[in-house]
Amino acid sequence: MNEERYIVFDQYLQDELSAEEKVKFEKELSEDPELASAFETFKELNLHLENKFGNADEFDSFKENLKSISNAHFKASKPKVINFKPWIYLIAASVTVLIGLFLFNPNPNFEDFNQYENAYFTERGDVDKNLKQAEETFNAKKYKAAIPFFEAVLKEKKTPEIQYFYGISLLEANKIKDAEVVFNELKSGTSIYKNKAIWSLALSKLKQKDYKSCKEILLTIPSDYEDYDQVQELLKELD
């Protein structure tokens, strides 16, 4: 992977490419798995730096400091990088400090915490066809397929339990705003799914890489929540 490719990565993220260049780049991403993987890594590293420095001013200050260091260090040996954004060079070259930040203090992943209990509706004597299909598709982790079955059931019977599993299906299908509407409604209620909904809201923020909001939500979950050990584990990884 050469330096110019990382420049294109940055230009794409900053919306600096022309319409034609964007189409060409997106086509390359869809056809080249190695390029797509490198681009995802670049985005993760870039996002990690932004999160590490807290706000735009700190991040800009970091980039200015890096520019001075880069100019002094690379000017003689690599004159072609003078016009190359030095903070991109840092990512492209995998400088030890950056890799240390990314590898040894990574942000937690949604996939490490999205383990759910199975849904059991029909064993209670309920023979509703849609509810049975909702249960089976949810437990098979076919969340997108489960959504229309849950929606059909909720038109006739709206319970916190069904809402909760419906919200999870929405979240897993990346219908995040819709999922948060469901979880917020459960959060404002008094059912046994109240704290589960708050945990799910935290997971929603984690999935969006909104670590600050995720932590704020986690801190509102009471210690008697049945899966509080997961709350503590996620909080620890967010610190």
Could you tell me the domains of the chain?
A: 3-104 (no CATH), 110-238 (1.25.40.10)
pLDDT by residue (tens digit) across 55-86? 556 556 655 555 554 455 444 444 444 344 55
Segment 164-182 mean pLDDT: 97
The helix/strand count (H/E) of the chain reads as 13, 0
Total length of the chain: 239
81 versus 93: the higher-pLDDT residue is: 93
> Residue 21: what residue type?
E
Report how far residue 35's alpha carbon sits from residue 40's, in angstroms, rounded to the nearest whole number. 9
pLDDT beyond 60 at 236: yes
Contact in structure between 21 and 67 (CB atoms under 8 Å): no
- SS3 assignment, position 95: coil
Amino acid letter, residue 42: F
Residues 199-214 as b/e (b if ≥16 CB within 10 A, e otherwise) read bbbbbbbbbeeeeeeb
Per-residue pLDDT of 129-164, as tens digits, reads 999 999 999 999 999 999 999 999 999 999 999 999
Check: CB of residue 206 under 8 Å from CB of residue 108. Answer: yes
Question: Would you place residue 191 in the very low, low, confident or very high pLDDT band (cuts 50, 70, 90)?
Answer: very high
**Model confidence band, residue 9 (pLDDT cutoffs 50, 70, 90):** confident
| Range with the poorest average pLDDT among 49-63, 65-79, 103-117, 225-239 | 65-79
pTM above 0.85, yes or no: no
What pLDDT, on the 0 to 100 scale, is given for residue 74? 43
What separation in angstroms does the CA of 119 have from each of 104, 113, 133, 161, 178? 37, 18, 11, 9, 20
Structure confidence at residue 223 (pLDDT):
95
pLDDT of 20 above 60: yes
Q: At 126, give phi and psi (nearest 5°).
A: -85, 120
Q: Which residue, chain included where needed, has tokens 């229309």?
A: 148
